């Protein structure tokens, strides 16, 4: 029977535990699943958001580049039919920053650059200069040669006269007569030409100037020399890439040759104030060199206009674009660095962001941006029409930004999730404890009912036996009858005390217990309590001592309730003491309190039990088979009453040595304290 009820109890408990587990585990698992879905979604959402953002930026940058190029092409359209190609060349190179230009006329023949054979120094043998040259170059008789040149320097043919002046200057310089050589050379270099358009004369003058530069370089530095040098360089530079005049003064290859010589002279003479001019000249010369190379390899006719194509010129990679105007075909050239600067739109948009861009030409060559970005490009777009087949790719720098951004958001979800799970677990824990307490309480109540029935049954059964015996007259004599009646009275008293306790507890439980407080003498309480347990103490052979430390102040208390307190403590002292019961009551005055101390030499209590003995239904030995009567209510009733009197109860106990329960009740104000 007992085994069966234990099984049912266990079954009920298991049900509760299972229910709680489901209540905690189910929401936790659901939350975890939900979180994993959210995390996956978040990655996708962040990726889409960022990709869309960067696609917009990309479109902006592409639009900027497109409008830049539309403007550049439009400016090419405004080019007038040219007579002097250097005016166009200068503009396109210096203002529009192209690194080369080729202009063809409507028939496809090159207007610029045009090359011509350099006129040699070799004069035919019938030339008036033949003798002088013979002396200078074959015999190396420089002073004789100088004299011969001198005699020809006033020749009626300006070509001969100019060549003679140059020859004389050359010979003088070879003789080390540098000052004279410089004087002579100046005459040729700055000669007033009768025919400015004669290319032979022009070339002779430019040659004289170059010679002057080299002689000046060899001679010592002086203010006069610097001035001449300056003048010569200026004159040369003015003639080079000269936009004035109807047509180019010199063919492109000769122009370039002189430009290089001028640059050499500028470099070796350190003419600081001409740094800007040197810079321009360097740019123009480089562009001219590239233009000459382009004119040799690139043809004006093509299926493709207004779109950049890649080609190699002079072993460098360049980008060319053909453009047709009304009267001519233009080819503009951009070097690798030149074309990279055309993509400032992308640079402005993407520098300072977490992304990197890379521009590739139609052949897949890197052109601008980050040459080797990490990872895979997350989006790409074609460049504007001026760059056919080109594309721009976008990358994320420093790892995947999608992942980073998603991670931030995911961390927020994770922490929220963890917090919720912790809260669920805590709530589960509290619920488990509450349910456990409830289970324990209901078990205690069940035990209580069993105990109450058991406790009531014993005195009732013995009273019934005694009364039946008396009724049947089964007694030897009057003394025995009296003894039976005394025993009946004792059982009755025990029964009453037990019922009193149950009733007090019941009232206590329902908060119905009312106390009538009055000024009471502590000794009176002690006397009534002792009176009540006297018979029992005698029956159990208790050694009892009482010590009342009079005079004691009165306390404000409910007399009967306080008697219940002491009776319960004395009753326990007797119950939980083995043979040779030594029980003592001490009543004494402690400032502000009157103390009732009940001590015994009984079984004592461990620290753990001491903490719990005031709980309802708590018994150290709760088995039904235990010897002592009671149902774990006595001390809870004691504590309830003491608390109601604003007092305190303390226990000092050692297992096997005995216990002392001390009740402190506050003294009535102004009452002996």
Euclidean distance between CA atoms 19 and 25, whole angstroms: 10
Beta carbons within 8 Å of 549's beta carbon, 6+ residues apart: 586, 587, 588, 589
Least distance in angstroms from the C-beta of 20 to ligand ADP: 31
- Distance in Å, CB of 419 to ligand ADP, minimum: 43
CB of 526 to ligand ADP, least distance (A): 17
162 phi and psi angles, rounded to 5 deg: -65, -45
Nearer to ligand ADP, 169 or 501 (CB): 501
CB neighbour class for 326 (10 Å; exposed up to 12, middle 13-18, buried from 19): exposed
The dihedral over CA atoms of 28, 33, 37, 39, expressed in degrees to the nearest 10, equals: 50
User: Binding segment for ligand ADP among 286-294, 456-464, 486-494, 598-606 (CB under 6 A)?
Assistant: 598-606
Which DSSP letter does residue 557 get?
E
Distances (CA, A) of 645 to 557, 598, 661, 664, 667: 7, 18, 17, 9, 10
Is residue 634 part of the contact set for ligand ADP (CB under 6 A)?
yes
Residue position matching structure tokens 């006129």: 119
Q: How far is the CB of 658 from ligand ADP (least distance, A)?
A: 7
According to DSSP, the residues that pair with 323 across neighbouring strands are: 330
Q: How many CB atoms lie within 10 A of CB 594?
A: 29
Q: Which stretch binds ligand ADP (CB under 6 A): 154-162, 182-190, 470-478, 624-632?
A: 624-632
Interface residue with ligand ADP among 536, 619, 647, 662 (CB under 6 A) is 619
Contact 280, 95 (CB under 8 A): no
Task: Please identify which residue in 229, 281, 603, 665 interacts with ligand ADP, judged by CB under 6 A.
Answer: 603
295/286 Cα distance (integer angstroms): 14
Per-residue contact flags (x/-) with ligand ADP for residues 511 to 550, judged by CB under 6 A: ----------------------------------------
Q: How far is the CB of 631 from ligand ADP (least distance, A)?
A: 5
- Does position 600 interact with ligand ADP (CB under 6 A)? The reply is yes
Sheet holding 379-382, edge to edge: 366-369, 355-360, 391-396, 379-382
Binding residue (CB under 6 A) for ligand ADP from 100, 417, 602, 647? 602
Give the footprint of ligand ADP on residues 643-672 (CB under 6 A). Answer: 659
State the binding string over 278-317 for ligand ADP (x if CB under 6 A, else -): ----------------------------------------
Of 113 and 602, nearer to ligand ADP (C-beta) is 602
For ligand ADP, give the closer residue by CB, 90 or 639: 639
Q: Interface residues for ligand ADP in 212-241 (CB under 6 A)?
A: none
Helix pair 634-644, 559-575: axis angle to 10 deg: 150
Q: Where in 563-582 is the site for ligand ADP (CB under 6 A)?
A: 568, 572-573, 576
C-alpha span between 347 and 352 (Å, rounded)? 9
Nearest distance in Å: CB 536, ligand ADP: 14
Q: At what angle do helices 142-152 and 158-174 cross, to 10 degrees?
A: 160
Q: Does 613 help bind ligand ADP (rule: CB under 6 A)?
A: yes
Q: Which span sits near ligand ADP by CB under 6 A: 113-121, 141-149, 428-436, 615-623?
A: 615-623
Closest approach of ligand ADP to the CB of residue 628, in Å:
6
The least CB distance from residue 654 to ligand ADP, in Å, is 10
Cβ neighbours, 10 Å, residue 630: 18
Which residue of 307, 384, 632, 647 would you call a contact of ligand ADP, by CB under 6 A? 632
Q: Which is nearer to ligand ADP, 163 or 563 (CB)?
A: 563
3-state SS of 502-534 is HHHHHHHHCCCCCCCCEEECHHHHHHHHHHHHH
Write out the two tokens for 74: 């439009």
What minimum distance in Å lies between the beta carbon of 533 and ligand ADP?
Answer: 13
Q: Within 13 Å of residue 413, how many CA atoms lie on the same side as its CB?
A: 19
Selected from 73, 620, 644, 652, the binder of ligand ADP by CB under 6 A is 620
Joined together, the tokens standing for residue 10 give 């266990």
- Quick check: 631 binds ligand ADP (CB under 6 A)? yes
Question: What are phi and psi for residue 656, nearest 5 degrees?
Answer: 85, -10
Tell me the residue nearest to ligand ADP as measured from the CB.
630
- Comparison of 355 and 636: residue with beta carbon closer to ligand ADP: 636
605 is an interface residue for ligand ADP by CB under 6 A:
yes
User: Can you tell me the distance from the alpha carbon of 491 to that of 462, in angstroms, rounded to the nearest whole number?
Assistant: 7
Near ligand ADP by CB under 6 A: residue from 213, 266, 557, 635: 635
Contact footprint for ligand ADP (CB under 6 A)? 568, 572-573, 576, 600, 602-605, 613, 618-620, 630-636, 659
């Amino acid at each position: 029977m007992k085994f069966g009820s234990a099984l049912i109890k266990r079954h009920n408990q298991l049900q509760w535990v299972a229910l709680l587990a489901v209540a905690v585990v189910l929401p936790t698992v659901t939350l975890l699943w939900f979180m994993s879905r959210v995390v996956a979604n978040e990655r996708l959402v962040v990726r889409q958001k960022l990709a869309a953002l960067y696609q917009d930026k990309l479109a902006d940058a592409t639009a900027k580049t497109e409008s830049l190029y539309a403007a550049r092409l439009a400016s090419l359209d405004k080019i007038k039919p040219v007579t002097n190609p250097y005016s166009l060349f200068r503009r396109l190179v210096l203002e529009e920053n192209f690194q080369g230009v080729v202009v063809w006329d409507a028939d496809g023949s090159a207007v610029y650059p045009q090359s011509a054979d350099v006129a040699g120094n070799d004069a035919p043998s019938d030339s008036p200069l033949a003798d002088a040259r013979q002396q200078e170059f074959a015999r190396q008789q420089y002073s004789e040669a100088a004299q011969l040149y001198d005699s020809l320097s006033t020749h009626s043919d300006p070509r001969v006269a100019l060549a003679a002046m140059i020859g004389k200057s050359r010979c003088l310089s070879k003789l080390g007569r540098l000052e004279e050589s410089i004087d002579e050379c100046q005459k040729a270099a700055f000669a007033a030409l009768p025919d400015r358009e004669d290319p032979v004369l022009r070339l002779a003058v430019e040659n004289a100037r170059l010679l002057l530069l080299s002689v000046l370089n060899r001679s010592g530095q002086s203010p006069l020399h610097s001035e001449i040098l300056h003048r010569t360089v200026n004159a040369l530079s003015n003639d080079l890439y000269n936009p004035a005049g109807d047509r180019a003064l010199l063919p492109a290859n000769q122009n370039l040759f002189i430009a290089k010589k001028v640059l050499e002279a500028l470099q070796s003479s350190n003419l600081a104030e001409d740094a800007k001019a040197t810079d321009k000249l360097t740019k123009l010369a480089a562009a001219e060199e590239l233009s000459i190379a382009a004119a040799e390899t690139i043809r004006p006719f093509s299926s493709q206009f207004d779109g950049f194509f890649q080609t190699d010129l002079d072993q460098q990679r360049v980008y060319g674009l053909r453009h047709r105007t009304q009267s001519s075909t233009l080819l503009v050239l951009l070097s690798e660095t030149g074309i990279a600067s055309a993509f400032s739109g992308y640079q402005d948009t993407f520098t300072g962001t977490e992304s990197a861009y890379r521009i590739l030409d139609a052949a897949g060559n890197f052109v601008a941006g980050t040459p080797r970005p990490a990872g895979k490009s997350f989006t790409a777009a074609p460049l504007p029409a001026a760059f056919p087949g080109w594309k721009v790719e976008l990358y994320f720098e420093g790892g995947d930004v999608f992942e980073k951004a998603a991670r931030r958001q995911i961390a927020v979800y994770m922490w929220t999730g963890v917090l919720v799970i912790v809260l669920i677990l805590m709530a589960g824990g509290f619920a488990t404890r509450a349910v456990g307490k409830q289970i324990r309480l209901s078990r205690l109540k069940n035990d209580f009912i069993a105990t109450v029935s058991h406790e009531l049954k014993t005195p009732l059964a013995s009273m019934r036996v005694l009364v039946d015996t008396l009724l049947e007259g089964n007694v030897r004599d009057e003394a025995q009858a009296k003894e039976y009646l005394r025993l009946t009275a004792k059982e009755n008293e025990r029964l009453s005390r037990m019922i009193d306790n149950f009733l007090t507890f019941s009232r206590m439980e329902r908060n119905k217990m009312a106390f009538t407080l009055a000024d009471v003498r502590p000794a009176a309480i002690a006397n009534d309590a002792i009176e009540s347990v006297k018979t029992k103490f005698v029956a159990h052979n208790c050694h009892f001592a009482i010590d009342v430390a009079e005079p004691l102040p009165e306390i404000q208390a409910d007399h009967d309730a306080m008697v219940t307190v002491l009776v319960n403590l004395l009753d326990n002292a007797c119950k939980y003491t083995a043979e040779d019961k030594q029980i003592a009551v001490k009543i004494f005055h402690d400032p502000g309190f009157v103390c009732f101390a009940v001590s015994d030499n009984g079984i004592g209590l461990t620290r753990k039990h001491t903490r719990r003995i005031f709980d309802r239904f708590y018994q150290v030995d709760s088995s039904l088979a235990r010897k002592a009567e009671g149902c774990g209510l006595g001390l809870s009733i004691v504590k309830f009453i003491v608390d109601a009197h604003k007092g305190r109860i303390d226990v000092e106990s050692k297992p096997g040595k005995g216990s002392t329960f001390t009740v402190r009740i506050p003294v009535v104000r102004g009452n002996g304290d």
